[in-house]
Homo-oligomer: A and B are copies of this chain.
Amino acid sequence: MEIERKYLIPHLPDHLEQYPCRIIEQGYLNVSPVIRIRRDNDHYELTYKSGGLMAREEYNLPLTGQAYEHLLSKIDGRLIRKKRYMIPLAGGLTAELDLFEGDLAPLALAEVEFSSEEEALSFIPPSWFGEDVTFSGAYHNSYLSQIK
């Protein structure tokens, strides 16, 4: 079970280059349930997510690079490309800050993962976070992959 909240980021934090950064590509074979392929630097995986907004069941299953390339030909809509920065927050939490590339730029979203729904609901975001879009389907990557 993954429990997370998601925010729009109107202004990027300073000195992003000090944080660990990964290159992520992802595409969707289906959106409900989510069946997604993802490249994360040089790791490849297939992800299945059941329905729901804040809490969803998720399975991450390994792919070879060859399987990823094969499945890439089957995705619907666009391949999402983004840089992901891991930014430490108070309370031992981490913001995953995604800077989208290509025609989704300059969209920036941050996700924070929690160990319980109570912790998620009591979270006070740092000042650089913008609108809470946790409950908006419009900022699901699956939706972003399909918009024209």
Q: How many copies does the complex hold?
A: 2
Indicate which residue in B48, B62, B70 contacts A30 across the interface (CB closer than 8 Å).
Answer: B70
* A133: Cβ under 8 A from any B Cβ: no
Residues of B within 8 A of A48 (CB): 46, 59, 61
A32 to B46, CA, bound (A): 12
* Number of residues on chain A facing chain B (CB within 8 A): 18
A8 to B71, CA, bound (A): 32
* A33: Cβ under 8 A from any B Cβ: yes
* A24: Cβ under 8 A from any B Cβ: no
Residues of B within 8 A of A61 (CB): 33, 48, 59
Q: Is the CB of B35 within 8 A of A62?
A: no
